[in-house]
Amino acid sequence: MSVRRNLRLAAKSDHTWLDQPAATSSPIPDHVLLCCFGPELAGSRHHKQLSTALQQAGYRGALAQHLIRVSRLLIRDAGRRYRLKRCDEPAS
């Protein structure tokens, strides 16, 4: 079955699929890290600021540190500072 046909069938249906919760596009820790940057998305944040934001969201200790290290949204700069990865940057 093609994607187009699936879309046509969905459009003809009773739209009950609209009431279903949408799957999240990125994990919650990434949302917390993104919110830590606020309106200044081009700026950088110190490791401690990111760690504090995650801890306030319930990610404690080593888990917060791990999430900062493995997040695909963050790029590490000099001096334990992090910035958000731009959309046009290649995957590392």
For the stretch 77-87, pLDDT in tens is 988 999 999 88
- For residues 43 and 74, is the Cβ–Cβ distance under 8 A? no
Q: Residue 1's pLDDT is what?
A: 46
Average pLDDT, the chain: 77
35-50 pLDDT, tens digit per residue, is 888 888 889 999 999 9
- For residues 89 and 68, is the Cβ–Cβ distance under 8 A? no
Please give the model's pTM, rounded to 2 decimal places: 0.63
Other CB atoms within a 10 A radius of the CB of residue 33 amount to: 23
Nearest to 42 by CA among 92, 78, 84: 84
Q: Higher confidence at residue 24 or residue 9?
A: 9
Beta strands in the chain (DSSP E): 44-46, 74-77, 81-84
